[in-house]
Amino acid sequence: MTQSSGTLEKAKFSHIVITFIASIIITAQSSINSELNTYTENPLITALINFTTGLIVLSVMMIFSSPIRQGFISIPRLVREGRLKRWQLFGGLSGAFFVASQSSLVQVIGVAIFTVAAVAGQTSAALLVDKAGIGPAGKQPVTLMRIGAAILGIVGVLVSVLGQDSTGQFAFGAVLISFAAGALVSTQPALNGQIANHTGQPAAATMVNFIVGFITLVVVYAVAHQVNPQSFNVPPMPWENPVIWLGGPFGVLFVLTASFMAKTLGVFLFTLTSVVGQLSGAILMDVLFPTASTNITWQLLLGISITGAAVVLASGKKKTKTQ
């Protein structure tokens, strides 16, 4: 192995660790949003609060950071020059669609089935995203090792949810939409990564992601309100209950990480690592903040181990000839 390849492997390992930690943190977002939703009683409003607080955090970052500000301002010029395509600005659209789908479909098919279907969509589509070269890492070959890692990752998640309570039913249409939502969200780190790569600022890419997601959710809420008037309750203010307002900042951290890591790890490896982190985070949340529904089973622990093995398989070194 050459010195440069050794450095690359060390960088890849450190980025896997960072992605893993960020994915554990984003798991807390689910618990926070669940609590916030008990106040708003409206998943769309909960999601809008997340995107609003995220935008506030990013706006503060832009105010105090000239490089981030310049990176964001340069986006229209990059689009005019053709270095960025317009469709590459819509990574936040898939994220908003995933949040909206999750809020409604979990009630129909349950958390377990939704998770398996969404992760199956994510890992399968992530292979195609890398193959097409949509992300900043460029085209990645679909090898037998990567296909095996994808299958192993899906098996790991499937094992993880075995034995978990799910009040939903196997509704084929809802499962298909869940799969599609997972497949679409796999494009998010790729598109945001392209913006980060061209601007040199992952935070600028994250800002675009949150702006697009926020606008999408506002439109969805407006349409939903016209079809079926949407009511909601005002949650406690940040100075009354600051914890329930942390979902947006945690989301910023995760999207920021994804925008940066998409180039080093590629979308597929990032997705698998994120899945392991989120499953591990789920256990951590149950240990630290147990509830009446807490249920840490041997299947969950085994599933995390299997999915972790998939990450190791996917991150295996390619054999290259040395000069």
Per-residue exposure over 288-314, b if at least 16 CB sit within 10 Å of its own CB, e if not = eeeeeeeeeeebbeebbebbbbbbebb
Count Cβ neighbours within 10 Å for each residue of 177-199 and write b for 16 or more, e otherwise: bbbbbbbbbbbbbbbbbbbbbbb
The two tokens of residue 234 are: 């005002």
DSSP strand E in 88-149: where?
none
DSSP alpha helices (H): ranges in 135-227?
Answer: 144-161, 172-185, 187-199, 202-227
Domain boundaries, the chain: 11-314
pTM of the model: 0.80
Structure token digits, residue 273:
């690592």
Q: Residues 124, 142: contact at Cβ < 8 Å?
A: no
Is the Cβ–Cβ distance between 276 and 307 less than 8 Å? yes
Q: Can you tell me the distance from the alpha carbon of 150 to that of 129, in angstroms, rounded to the nearest whole number?
A: 13
What is the structure's pLDDT at 186?
A: 87
Q: Distance between CA 270 and CA 197 in Å, rounded?
A: 16
Nearest to 191 by CA among 100, 93, 91: 91
Residue 272 and residue 119: Cα distance in Å, rounded? Answer: 9
Residue 44 near residue 228 (C-beta atoms within 8 A): no
End-to-end CA distance of the chain: 10
Query: 48 by DSSP, 3-state: which?
Result: helix
One digit per residue, pLDDT tens: the chain, 323 residues? 444 445 445 557 888 889 999 988 887 777 787 788 888 888 888 889 989 999 999 999 999 999 999 999 999 999 999 899 899 899 888 888 887 776 567 666 666 667 777 888 888 888 888 888 887 877 877 788 888 888 888 888 778 777 655 555 556 777 788 888 888 888 988 999 999 999 999 999 999 999 999 998 899 888 888 888 877 888 999 899 998 899 889 989 989 998 888 888 888 888 888 888 877 877 777 677 665 555 667 777 787 788 778 877 777 655 444 34
Amino acid present at 279: L
Q: 90 near 191, Cβ under 8 Å?
A: yes
Note the pLDDT of residue 317.
55
